[in-house]
Amino acid sequence: MKVLFRSDSSTQIGFGHIKRDLVLAKQYEDVSFACLPLEGSLIDEILYPVFELQSASIYELIHLIKEHKFDLLVIDHYEITADDEKLIKLETGIKILSFDDTINPHHCDILLNVNACAKASDYEGLVPFKCELRCGFSYALIRDEFYIEAKEKREKVWDFFICLGGTDIKNLSLKIASDLPSNKKIAIATSSSNKNLKKLKILAKENPNIKLFIDCDNIAKLMNESEKLIISASSLINEALLLKAKFKAICYVENQRPTADWLAKKGYEVEYKFD
Q: What amino acid positions are annotated as catalytic residues? A: 17
Non-local (6+) Cβ contacts of 57 within 8 A are none
